[in-house]
């Protein structure tokens, strides 16, 4: 979709639904359905002869505004908004995979995405392979005659491993395979996978797009042809985003650029400081020069994002003690909030996948995933320091 204005911030703020009553701020459209002018309009709408609102499971002015903004910010033509990020992931894959098909996925994925691919897809006769993120020269060899999609997230959750999107998309185009990129951690403000040729872009809007831990949501973006298939799948299966949550998310996009600047500033300073602490075994952040993919991060991203992952000396028990000692940080499974958050992936978000899969995702027993908020950086550092001391 063509950008209305030259700059990201202006598009995020000024893309709005058409005014109905001279309102400055777009109102909520809390309705389950929409009335037809006459029988002919109803027939034409259900025949897909033109697009307008029928039922909020299909579309709604609030969800349409959120989708339009995301399309402009990501450089995509069309999209569909879902009730959660995982609903978006599922809706981005399943309409294109049938019995006997094959999906190739990154070895570093969010645990729930991995479980869908490894545990549920085989029940439906869908085959899968995982490519080693550290061996890009082997990726193409894993493409099979029945491969229909490549799925990857970059940076990955929680290991912050990057995928060379240009390389991956070139493979997809060569073999006529859809490339699906989960852009949740970076957001369209820090990177746009469409620039490298991604066919589908998937988001959990629950994270940085909302930014204040208020609502759940997701969105899938693609060209009009691909989106038509996704939309038909979602119309029948019903994972639609609610008008209220869409309204919240659309408003949140107005401040995304301001928030992400502060998230990234705080995260980089914290990551650099953590590397000086003797209690910390390892720090992972895309814009640290010690990150093995630092040059790729600088190529694909404008800043390093708001998530910092580090490993404390002392393993599983030390990791738990450290979390219990934090005072400012919230201990919750979410991320992307204006409030700093810490989690222990090995015992929570990634506890249901095997240890080999955890290690492939960059998770050790002492790994701590932090989502760095908008608080003053000195207070963030002080809280981590006292928790390290108490858990030593």
The DSSP string of 221-244 is EE-HHHHHHHHHHHHHH--BPPHH
For residue 68, is pLDDT > 70? yes
| Per-residue confidence (pLDDT) for residue 316, from 0 to 100 | 84
Same domain? For 14 and 144 the reply is yes
Model pLDDT, residue 357:
64
Q: pLDDT confidence of 376, banded at 50, 70, 90?
A: very high
The Cα–Cα gap between 181 and 173 comes to 14
Please give the Cα distance from 5 to 14 (Å, whole number). 9
Residues 84, 95 share a domain: yes
Q: Which of 341, 350, 347, 363 is nearest to 267 (CA)?
A: 341
Token output for 388: 């390290």
Mean pLDDT of 99-108: 97
- One domain for residues 67 and 215: yes
381 pLDDT higher than 80: yes
**246 lies in the same domain as 288:** no
pLDDT of residue 145: 98
Among residues 253, 281, 312, the one where a domain terminates is 253
pLDDT band at 344 (very low <50, low <70, confident <90, very high): confident
Predicted TM-score (pTM) above 0.85: yes
For the chain, give the mean pLDDT: 94
Same domain, 29 and 172: yes
Pairing of β 367-371 and β 307-312? antiparallel
Residue 1 has pLDDT above 60, yes or no: no
Where is the domain boundary, 201, 234, 253? 253
The boundaries of the domain holding residue 291 are 256-391
Residue 197: its pLDDT value, please?
Answer: 98
- Region 170-187: mean pLDDT is 98
Determine the average pLDDT of the residues in 129-137: 94
State how many domains the chain has.
Answer: 2
Q: What are the pLDDT digits (tens) for 295-313? A: 999 999 999 999 999 999 9
Question: 299 and 179 in one domain?
Answer: no
pLDDT confidence of residue 101:
98
Same domain (yes/no): 149, 132: yes
40 vs 319: CA distance, rounded Å? 64
Class of residue 69 by CB neighbours under 10 A (exposed 0-12, middle 13-18, buried 19+): buried
Give the pLDDT of residue 360: 62
Give yes or no for a contact between 4 and 15, defined as CB atoms under 8 angstroms apart: yes
Query: Does residue 362 register a pLDDT over 80?
Result: no
SS3 of residue 16 by DSSP? coil
H/E segment holding residue 80 = strand 78-82
Q: What is the pLDDT of residue 345?
A: 82
Same domain, 131 and 246: yes
Do both 248 and 281 map to the same domain?
no
Does one domain contain both 229 and 337? no
Domain boundary among 234, 253, 272: 253
Can you tell me the mean pLDDT for 283-289? Answer: 98
């Amino acid at each position: 979709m063509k950008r209305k204005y030259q700059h990201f911030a202006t598009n995020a703020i000024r893309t709005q639904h058409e005014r109905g009553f001279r309102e400055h701020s777009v109102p909520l459209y809390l309705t389950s359905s929409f009335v037809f002018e006459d029988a002919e309009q109803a027939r034409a709408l259900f025949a897909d002869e033109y697009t307008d609102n029928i039922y909020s499971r299909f579309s709604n002015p609030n969800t349409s505004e959120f989708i339009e903004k995301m399309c402009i910010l990501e450089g995509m033509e069309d999209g569909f908004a879902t009730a959660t990020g995982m609903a978006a992931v599922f809706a981005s894959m399943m309409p294109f995979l049938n019995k006997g098909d094959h999906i190739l996925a990154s070895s570093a994925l969010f645990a729930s995405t991995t479980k869908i691919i490894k545990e549920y897809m085989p029940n439906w006769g869908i085959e899968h392979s995982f490519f080693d993120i550290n061996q890009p020269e082997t990726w193409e060899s894993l493409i099979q005659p029945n491969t229909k999609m490549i799925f990857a997230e970059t940076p990955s959750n929680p290991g912050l491993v990057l995928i060379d999107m240009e390389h991956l998309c070139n493979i997809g185009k060569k073999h006529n395979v859809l490339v699906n990129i989960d852009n949740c951690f970076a957001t369209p403000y820090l990177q746009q996978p469409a620039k490298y040729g991604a066919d589908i872009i998937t988001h959990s809007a629950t994270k940085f797009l909302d930014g204040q831990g208020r609502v759940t949501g997701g969105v899938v973006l693609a060209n009009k042809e691909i989106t038509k298939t996704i939309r038909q799948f979602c119309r029948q299966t019903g994972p639609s985003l609610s008008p209220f949550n869409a309204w919240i998310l659309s408003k949140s996009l107005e401040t995304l650029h301001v928030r992400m600047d502060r998230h990234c500033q705080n995260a980089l300073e914290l990551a650099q400081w953590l590397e000086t602490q003797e209690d910390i075994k390892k720090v992972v952040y895309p814009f640290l020069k010690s990150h093995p993919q630092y040059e790729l991060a600088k190529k694909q991203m404008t800043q390093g994002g708001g998530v910092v992952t580090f490993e404390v000396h002392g393993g599983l028990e030390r990791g738990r003690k450290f979390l219990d000692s934090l005072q400012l940080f919230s201990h919750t499974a979410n991320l992307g909030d204006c409030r700093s958050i810490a989690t222990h992936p090995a015992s929570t978000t990634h506890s249901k996948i095997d240890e080999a899969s955890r290690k492939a995702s960059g998770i050790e027993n002492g790994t701590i995933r932090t989502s760095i908020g908008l608080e003053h950086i000195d207070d963030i550092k002080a809280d981590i320091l006292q928790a390290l001391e108490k858990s030593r």
